[in-house]
Structure 1
Amino acid sequence: MTAYALTDCWTMTRRELAHWARQPVRVVVGLVFPVMMLLMFGYLIGGGRGVEGDYVSFLVPGMLALTMAFGLEGTMVAVTQDLNKGVIDRFRSMPMANGAVLVGRSTADMMQSVLSLAVMIAVGYALGWRAHGGAGAFLGAVGLLLLLRFAMLWIGIHLAMVAGKPEMVQAVQILVWPVGFLSNAFAVPGSMPSWLGTVVEWNPLSATATAARDLFGRSGGEPGHITAAVVWPLALLAVFFPLAVRRFARLNK
């Protein structure tokens, strides 16, 4: 049964990848938008308040974390479109593993996330940013960033099924912006009002950004941040993954 389930999930993943070929503009926009953000904050706005040392070395890991939180609307819209067109109902009537549609969708999204990270890291290197923590630490930072993305993805999938319609996705997507900007991606919490700094420090995205900076070698290792960067996404997954699976199982009941 496991082999059949994996085959079903891969079939659904290939379906999503085929959509990329038919809609290349959406993929390109998803890759270009975070690059524009990095260049804008690095050159036009820049100089993050309270940041000691080179701002680019602070900004790039923060932007990598922010990229993992943004861009969920593509997956959310795809899920709601499948719901409204009856595609998921047709898939569920086939001898297919339960949840293969969601797993395929999430796998395709994670592939694009890996590509986005690669593009952003390349742009960071072009701006003069360098990772100094070694190969193991580098891979660890990338792993934490992808773990955050995976958790955010399942939150998006669940909210998409709650929203139900593509036109509602934009309203739900707006909620991601406060999570992204109320973080330490651009500035240190100590430079903010105390109440705002507290909110920023408790943001899961801040934990991942700080851990990534440490692992990339910007400052000394801080295991507490690395632990938080693991615990926060796992906690979110523990809540939203079963919620998404349960809601998907009840769609035709």
Structure 2
Amino acid sequence: MTTAAIAQPVNQASDNAAGLLTSVTQIARRVLLKFIRSPQLVVVGTLQGAMFLLIFRYVFGGAITTPGIDYVNFVVPGFIATGVLFNAMYSAVGMAEDLEAGLIARLRSLPIPRSAVLVGRALADTGIQVWGLVITIAIGFAVGFRLHDTLPAALEAAALIVLFGIVFEWLFLLMGMIAGSPQASQGFALLIFPLTFVSSAYVPVASMPAWLQGFAENQPVTVMVNAVRTLTEGAPAEALVGHPASYFVVRSLIWSLALIAIFAPLAVAKYRRG
């Protein structure tokens, strides 16, 4: 076998990798520019998160008992963790809009890796989620939230939240492709709402009916919220939920790996089928 024959597959693999990176970058850039050029999306998303946080902080907070921890320090980690879900819902709408406009059909006809479209959008939407995360954290501190654990633990919580957002990105991308229209995709995305309310995000699971507690304690949103809460609030939060932070961090990682192993291949398969 000649040197040229050996080098050819290597060069081809290198070109494919470069093509994938370039395609992913261009797709992500387009999504981010569209978001930046639509200031109403930024304003509405920010105001919506602030409004709900203020309602729970000042309207419902006085009626909810959280032993050993102030309600504001209980609810803000829940809002931060679930906020990435609400922000990720725009992924479903964005994908459906691109399908309806014929952009996805044009991208399929181009000589670019099929996975580049989904990966590029997922990366861009993750960047948008980080923006929303920063805003939510700032609002949380403004209404009285304070850290009661170390800065490294808080950074670990932030990393988990970003990971959680990436995981659900693939679910919402799949929903957008299945729905096919922005209106229908919003309806599909709303199916996730019950997971946020039947969780420990806003109220302790112990306050729920006994028949519901088993589901609420073990579903992924509760596990993630408890991980974030125990990492940011330390011993008082651990006493409230009955486990150390490491317990919820490990379970969060397991849930994340399981969900992305399910929804990422399904989203790619759906995109390829058209």
TM range (shorter): over 0.9
Matched, 1:13 2:28: yes
The reply to whether residue 226 of structure 1 matches residue 242 of structure 2 is no
List gaps (5 residues or longer) in structure 2: 1-15, 239-243
CA distance in 2, matches of 1:152, 1:39: 25
Which digits, 9 at most, give the CA deviation of each residue in 1:1-54, with x for residues without a partner? 222211110100110112123311012212221121111100111136341121
Matched, 1:30 2:78: no
1:243 aligns with 2:266: yes
Letter of the 1:35 counterpart: A
Q: Is the 8 A contact 1:50 1:190 kept in 2?
A: no
Task: Give per-residue Cα distances to partners, 1:124-160, cap 9 Å, x unaligned.
Answer: 1112212232222111101111111111111111111
2:211 corresponds, among 195, 218, 226, to 195
Deviates more, 1:241-250 or 1:82-91: 82-91
1:124-203 correspondence to structure 2 within 5 Å: 124-203=140-219
Q: What amino acid sits opposite 1:158 in the alignment? A: L
One-letter code aligned to 1:34: G
Tell me, yes or no, if the aligned pair for 1:61 and 1:213 is still in contact at 8 Å. Answer: yes
Q: Give RMSD over aligned pairs.
A: 1.5
CA distance in 1, matches of 2:36, 2:247: 42
Do 2:65 and 2:71's aligned partners in 1 also have CA atoms closer than 8 Å?
Answer: no
Find the aligned partners of 1:47 and 1:149 in 2 and give their Cα distance. Answer: 30
Q: Which letter maps to 1:143?
A: A
Question: Could you tell me how far apart the structure 1 residues matched to 2:18 and 2:101 are?
Answer: 29
Q: What SS class does the counterpart of residue 114 from structure 2 fall into?
A: coil
Matched residues, number? 251
Is the 1:72–1:173 contact (alpha carbons within 8 Å) kept by the matching residues of 2? no
Q: TM-score w.r.t. structure 2 length? A: 0.87
Q: How does 1:41-52 map to 2 (within 5 A)?
A: 41-47=56-62, 49-52=64-67
- The secondary structure found in structure 2 opposite 1:133 is coil
In the TM superposition, what are the counterparts of 1:58-97 in structure 2 within 5 Å?
58-97=74-113
Cα distance, 1:33–1:218 mapped onto 2, change above 3 Å: farther
Between the two proteins, what is the percent identity of the paired residues? 36
Asked if the contact 2:27/2:117 (under 8 Å) is kept, the reply is: yes
Counterpart of 2:6 in structure 1 is none
Would the aligned equivalents of 1:207 and 1:229 in 2 still touch at CA under 8 Å? yes
Distance in 2 between the 1:42 and 1:218 partners? 20
Q: CA deviation at 1:208?
A: 0.7
Measured against aligned partners, the alpha-carbon deviations of 1:43-86 in whole angstroms (never above 9, x if no partner) come to 11113634112111111101111102213332112111211222
Amino acid of the structure 2 residue aligned with 1:75: S
Determine helix, strand or coil for the equivalent of 1:71.
helix
Larger-Rg structure: 2
Comparing 180-189 with 67-76, greater Cα deviation is found at: 67-76
d(CA) in 1 for partners of 2:88, 2:249: 24
Letter in 2 for 1:140: E
Q: Deviations over 1:101-146 (max 9, x none)?
A: 1112111111111111111111111122122322221111011111
Point out where structure 1 has 5 or more consecutive residues left out of the alignment: none
Bigger helix share? 2
After superposing on structure 2, the runs of 4+ consecutive aligned residues of structure 1 that deviate more than 6 Å are none
String of CA shifts for 1:167-190, please: whole Å, max 9, x gaps.
211221220211111111111111
